Structure 1
Amino acid sequence: MSRYVALGSSMAAGPGIGPRAPGSPRAAGRSARNYPHLVADALGLDLVDVTYSGATTAHVLTESQRGVPPQIRALDGSESLVTVTIGGNDAGYVPMLFAAGLPRLLRAVPVLGGRLRELLDPSARYVALAEVGAALIEVGREIRRRAPKATVLFVDYLTLVPATGDAPPLRPADLALGRHIAETLRQLTADAAQATGCGLVRAADASREHHAWSAHPWTTRFGFPVPGRPAPLHPNADGMRAVADLVIAEVSR
């Protein structure tokens, strides 16, 4: 059976989409119905899923996360497929949107308020985004080096917010910043795939009409986590199925 390694953050792990992947760390938020599992089941692949909620490009490449080795170490060179969804946490994408949904008065609370204001500061987000492109290219290069025989696919982020209009409780200025981060991540991921000879699964484009505030969402709206439900501002089960179908179509081309 061909080996498939899935790398990435919560957008690949699928926190809150039951059931939890057997044997996975609870903190990883790794679902047995995330897109890597659905792809592996459909294609008959031997899956090694090391996706982990909160992961950054550094956690893929060099840094331990909650005692777990860097994700890249899961590669042994025998892989036929590698997917990676990463970069959003480097830019503070979902944390920024979550901060935007919280009551404004929390921004005055000591310590917490400073973190919220930093997440919502466009200048701080632009600085963070400026470093993501090079990090994504390094991810692509290192995967290609360690898995030279594999099909390597960058899978970008499902669309969370509408391109126009409102998305309560998010305010217009915060929505505009969220849209900018999302579009920049989409472009940087595409650029990294091209620069490193990797494939690209365009989940962002495919999901523009399925944002969290749409009639048929593939992602969830702002809210507080509820056990047994998909995490706020993350893929739902329909979104994971849609991304899996996109990956399968790309692999099968």
Structure 2
Amino acid sequence: MKRYVALGSSMAAGPGIAPRATGSPVLAMRSARNYAHLTAARLGLDLVDVTFSGATTAHILSERQHGAPPQIEALDGSEAVVTVTIGGNDVGYVPLLSVAALPGLLRRMTPVGDLFDPEARNAALAAVHDSLIRVGTAIRARAPRARVLFVDYLTLLPPADTASPPLPAELFALGHHIADGLERATAAAAAETGCEVVRAGAASRDHHPWSRDPWTTKPSWIVLPLPGRGPAPLHPNAAGMRAVADLVVAAQ
């Protein structure tokens, strides 16, 4: 059976999509129905899923996360397939949208540091481009025989020209800028490191949280998933994970 290793953050882990992956750390919030598990079942792959909610590129490459080793250590060179979804936490993507969606007074009372500063977000995007290249390079070095697929982020916002955006106009625009920049950085890193890209963002343009057939969830005051309450806010739902699995399977 061919070995498949899944790396990434909560967008790959699937927080709140029941059931939790057997034996997985509670803080990883890793679903047994995330796109990696669904892909492995359909293709008959031997899955090693080390996705972990809250992960950054540093947690892929070098830093432990809540006691878990850097995710790249799961690679042993025998892999046939590696997927990775990462980078959003490096640029504050979901935190920015989460705070932006709060009612005005509460939003103004919430400490955000430089989260809403366009210059700081641009600097973060420039840095994540370099970090994603390091991720691709490191994966290729440790899994030289594998097909390495960067899977970018599902769409979390309505189109930029939406007449009545669900967030304040300037933060709606900034959110789109971050999403577009992260998507471009992911594609560029894949191209520059001999990897491939699965364009989940492009495939989900009409499946944003406010659409009739959403693949991701709306923002909420409750950021973390609660037992029995379903997927985490601003994260893939079960339909979204199935859709991403379809894209990954089609790429094989």
TM interval, shorter chain, is over 0.9
For the residue of structure 2 that corresponds to 1:80, the secondary structure is strand
Offset at residue 61 of structure 1 (A): 0.2
Residue in 1 aligned with 2:182? 185
For the residue of structure 2 that corresponds to 1:213, the secondary structure is coil
Normalising by structure 2, what TM-score? 0.95
Distance 1:21 1:83 in 2: 17
Distance 1:173 1:44 in 2: 46
Offset at residue 167 of structure 1 (A): 4.0
Is residue 99–residue 120 contact of structure 1 (8 Å, CA) maintained in 2?
Answer: no
For the residue of structure 1 that corresponds to 2:114, the secondary structure is helix
Offset at residue 128 of structure 1 (A): 1.1
Q: Describe the superposition over 1:55-76 as per-residue Cα deviations: whole angstroms up to 9, x where unpaired.
A: 0000000000011100000000
Residue in 2 aligned with 1:10? 10
Is residue 193–residue 200 contact of structure 1 (8 Å, CA) maintained in 2?
Answer: yes
Residue in 2 aligned with 1:142? 138
Normalising by structure 1, what TM-score? 0.94
Offset at residue 108 of structure 1 (A): 5.3
Q: Does 1:218 align with 2:219?
A: no
Distance 1:237 1:167 in 2: 25
Q: Describe the superposition over 1:25-71 as per-residue Cα deviations: whole angstroms up to 9, x where unpaired.
A: 11111000000000000000110000000000000000000111000
Is residue 8–residue 51 contact of structure 1 (8 Å, CA) maintained in 2?
Answer: yes
Q: Which of 114, 123, 126 is the matching residue for 2:122?
A: 126
Residue in 1 aligned with 2:172? 175
Q: Which residue identity does 1:47 align to in structure 2? A: L
Distance 1:118 1:167 in 2: 22
Distance 1:4 1:202 in 2: 19
Instruction: Calculate percent identity across the aligned residue pairs.
Output: 66
Is residue 107–residue 117 contact of structure 1 (8 Å, CA) maintained in 2?
Answer: no
Q: Which residue identity does 1:143 align to in structure 2? A: I
For the residue of structure 2 that corresponds to 1:118, the secondary structure is coil
Is residue 29–residue 53 contact of structure 2 (8 Å, CA) maintained in 1?
Answer: yes
Residue in 2 aligned with 1:46? 46
Computed over aligned residues only, the root mean square deviation of the Cα atoms, in angstroms, reads: 1.2
Is residue 100–residue 107 contact of structure 2 (8 Å, CA) maintained in 1?
Answer: no
Residue in 1 aligned with 2:98? 98
Offset at residue 122 of structure 1 (A): 1.8
Residue in 2 aligned with 1:234? 235
Structure 1: 5+ residue runs without aligned partners?
none
Offset at residue 99 of structure 1 (A): 1.0
Distance 2:242 2:227 in 1: 21
Residue in 2 aligned with 1:83? 83
| Runs of 4+ deviating beyond 4 Å | none
Distance 1:236 1:36 in 2: 14
Structure 2: 5+ residue runs without aligned partners?
none
Residue in 1 aligned with 2:200? 203
Is residue 99–residue 107 contact of structure 2 (8 Å, CA) maintained in 1?
Answer: no
Q: Which of 149, 156, 160 is the matching residue for 1:160?
A: 156
Distance 2:210 2:77 in 1: 41
| Count of matched residue pairs | 246
Offset at residue 117 of structure 1 (A): 4.5
